[in-house]
Amino acid sequence: MDTPLFLFQPLLWSVGFAIGTIMLKRAIESGLGPLRIAFLNNMLVAVLFLPGLLSVPKTLTWSMLEWPLICSLIYALGQLCFFLAMRLGDVTVLAPAMGIKVVFVALFTAVMVGAVAMPWTMWMAALLATLAVFLLSISQWHDRKRLAQTAFLAVMSAGLYGLNDVMLQIHGSVLGAIPFSAVMFSAVAVESLVMIPFFRGSFRSVPPVAMRWGLAGAVICGAQSGGMAYTIAQHGAATAVNIVYSTRGLWSVILVWAASSWFGVREGSVGNAVMGRRLVGGLLLLCAVGLVLASK
C-alpha cells in the first residue's frame, strides 16, 4: 500500500519540533522563563493563522465555535504541562517521552470514534511506552526525582495533545481546516493573556541572547504546532499522523548528542552512557509506535 503523501508533513513537523524545542531549552537556560516562552509561541501561532480568520463564515453559530474553543483550552493546558516539563528536565527526556502521545491518540480514537475492542498489539504498545518513559525518567539516578517529574508532565502533555488531535479529527470539518485552526489558535492567544501576571519580570529584562533563541524557537515550534493542527483537521488520520510525528524523540536525542555545543545546551554533557539509555528509551517508544501501526 502506497504511503499517503500528506504523511510527509508530520515528518517535517517532527524535525521542526526537535530543532525548536532545543532552541527554547537554550532560551530557558539563558534567562527566558517558560511562561513567557509559551506566551511568545501562542502569539506567533495566532499571527501565522490570522489570515485564516478571513475564511471564517460571516454567519457563525455557537455550534461552529464550540469545538474550536474547547480544543483551544485542551491545547493550552497541554502546552502548559509541556513548558513546565521543559523547565524541569532535559529535551532528551522530554521529547522521547512525548512519543507516548500516539498511544493516547489510538486509545482516544478507539473510545471517541466508536472502534471495537482494542487489539492485543495496542495494549502491548501501551506497556512498551510505559517502560520507555520509566527508562527515560531514571537515566540519571542522582536526580531521578526531577526526571520523573519531567516524564510525568510530558505524559500529561502528551495525553492532552492526543485528546486535542482526536477532537480535531472529529470536529475539524465544522468550519474547515484553516478556519477551525485560525479560531482555535486565536482563542489560545487570548487565553494566554492570563499568563502575564505570573511572568518573572518583563520581556525587557530578558537577556538579548535568551530573547534571540526564544524568538527563533517559538517561530519554529509555533509553525510546527500549527502545521500539525492543520494536517489533522484537513486529512484526519490522527493516529497515522502521530505515528510519523513521534520520530521527534529520536531527532531530539540525535541533535543534542551531535550538536549540543552549537546549540549551547548543557544536557549534551551528561555523558554517552546516559544519552545511550535515553536513545534506548526513544527506540522502545518507536517499537510501541510500530505495534500501533501493526494494529491498524
What is the arithmetic mean of pLDDT over 6-32? 87
Looking at the chain, list the stretches that DSSP marks H as alpha helix, in order from N- to C-terminal side.
8-29, 34-49, 62-88, 91-97, 101-112, 120-137, 144-171, 177-191, 208-235, 238-245, 248-263, 272-294
Q: At what angle do helices 8-29 and 34-49 cross, to 10 degrees?
A: 140
The CA distance from 9 to 228, in Å, is 8
Please give the model's pTM, rounded to 2 decimal places: 0.78
Interaxial angle between packed helices 34-49 and 208-235, expressed in degrees from 0 to 180 and rounded to the nearest 10: 50
pLDDT at 1: 42
> Distance between CA 193 and CA 269 in Å, rounded?
36
Which cell numbers in the block locate residue 275? 544519552
Angstrom distance (rounded) from CA 258 to CA 12: 19
* Contact assessment for residue 181 and residue 50, using Cβ atoms and an 8 Å cutoff: no
Condensed to tens digits (0 to 9), the pLDDT of residues 270-285 reads 566 666 766 777 777 7
Instruction: Report d(CA 95, CA 14) in Å as an integer.
Output: 10
The DSSP symbol for 77 reads H
Residue 153, CB-side half-sphere exposure with 13 Å CA sphere: 23
Question: Which segment, 71-75, 116-120, 137-141, is predicted with the most confidence on average?
Answer: 71-75
Q: Give per-residue pLDDT as tens, 193-213.
A: 999 888 887 788 889 999 999
Amino acid letter, residue 277: R
Whether 14 and 247 have beta carbons less than 8 Å apart is answered as yes
